[in-house]
Structure 1
Amino acid sequence: MTPIRLALVGLGKIARDQHLPSIAADPRFELVAIVSRNAELDGVAHFTALADLLTSDVTVDAVALCTPPQPRHALAHLALAAGKHVMLEKPPGATLSEVEDLRQAAAERSLTLQTTWHSRYAIGVEPAREWLAERAIKAVRINWKEDVRVWHPGQDWIWDAGGLGVFDPAINALSIVTRILPRPFFLSKGVLHVPENKQSPIQAELDFRDAAGAPIRAELDFLQTGPQSWDIEVDTEDGQLKLTHGGAKLYIDGQLMREGPDQEYPGLYDAFAKLIADGASDVDVSPLRHVADAFLLSERVTAPAFVE
């Protein structure tokens, strides 16, 4: 079987930590090119612009876009216009309208477009969804707190308009909750703490309610030091479900039910290969929609200046 010839656009931390090992471990893919203004990879063709790759003699079937979200729409359009399948790192775009436009462009050309929500592939997520499917939800608590200086060192784009700030990691929590909860939910109110020298929030508190009225509270923080918190608790009439470590561990009433190694990005590439083989796309914007709602509805308060 001929492997899918893949180009990786953007060679930052997430590309090196997750994409490169996942591509190397999956024989259905062959990494044939890197597009980056600042970095190269030994033994792989290098281009500083996607347009240069697409007009070169390097044959590419698909591209994975690992750039910041702000320029991604134009890059994805360029790839789709050239007949390439596209994987979009999360968040899939800077706006909902951009992603809808890409969905239509891919459909018109019968190409695969994949919005990637890697946290949904954490080992505890699907068992959690199955356990909650027939249960009445009483309350949900999301505690998503990490250290931006550890996970995004020197990445100024994350603080710019469209960079999402604390929602860059918190959208992972929303991707899990939109997957595991049996009913849709809606934002009631929120508070965004925006550093006086930045455009995007560094902390947030959000209150949602699901379609049956159950409260969902999200506390988000980009300044947590020491142990990091990526936890979701769901109270039901039949007990409490808890996902910790970003979904890698699942507890029911305090008993560990599922844990395992990190297989999130291998899961994404497995899904991408299957979508391409089936001539299908997977375009889900529900996590991004909740972030957009937070920016629309929340109160803004000024936080102290952030210094790297």
Structure 2
Amino acid sequence: MSTSRDTSTVEHAERFTLLRPLLFTIVYEILGSATEADDVLQDGYLRWSQVDLSEVRDTKSYLARLVTRQALNALRARSRRREDYVGPWLPEPLLLDERDAASDAVLAESVSMAMLVVLETLTPDERAVFVLHEVFGFELQEIAAAVGKSAAAVRQTAHRARRHVQSRRKRFAPVDAAETERITERFMAATATGDLEGLLDLLAPDAVWTADSGGKATASRKPLVGAERVAAAVLDIFHKRRFTSDLRIATVNCNGAPAIAAYVEDRLEGVFLLVTAAGKITDFYAIRNPDKLHAMADTHRISRR
């Protein structure tokens, strides 16, 4: 009996480990938080380890359903707490251990900060349905079981979510990591030398700077709009502070594209993600909340399969 139990434990672990990058990606896109996604997967595995495998017809569908339900519970609970948050709310940056989104355009766009910000405007059910259907290609019947709705209701939700996302994603184009890398390099050069004209040349006229500090770090509590205002904020952080503190700047791979990490005495102070379109920077997302920077301590693998 012990041998049978040990064999079952190994098989549970093997099946879950094989699908973990997929499951993590699903939950991260639903929650916008790597920290919470790891918690959901940890709890999900405990639940999965008690499942009779002889009753599981499709491991991928079963596990996706299991973690989606838990992610939805977490998202609904967080939505009720959101009203007390200080300043703009941004998703947690996702540090990747490789450019595994670069070869999959759908995956790269789905984990981009620009898309995650759009997903924040959906209801919990809309977000889960959109992610499962549009990104991961699950059938409506499978999604219905995951969100606890009929297939007809899921079809309507999917249509509503798709229309909502399309109306709000016009500002940004699909992720072009090569273009973002080129612009990031030019941005780094301009800020290192304090080149205001060079910086303004990189910014779209209506560029927006959005900072998430949660009231726990110094940051603007309202978005800054316009190239001049954004340039001033950028030079204050990336140029002036280099001479008044031990600020160190590094590029990292976040959310499928190059991003900028700022350190003071080896302590991560912020992660800055650029959104580009037509060769210009349209948005800066600055994550300064130390609680959200904890996710940068570990790298993650993502997958759509």
- TM > 0.5 fold call: no
Higher share of residues assigned strand: 1
- What's the TM-score, normalizing by structure 2? 0.26
- What's the TM-score, normalizing by structure 1? 0.26
Q: Which structure ranks higher in relative contact order (CA pairs < 8 Å, sequence separation ≥ 6)?
A: 2
User: Higher Cα Rg: structure 1 or 2?
Assistant: 2
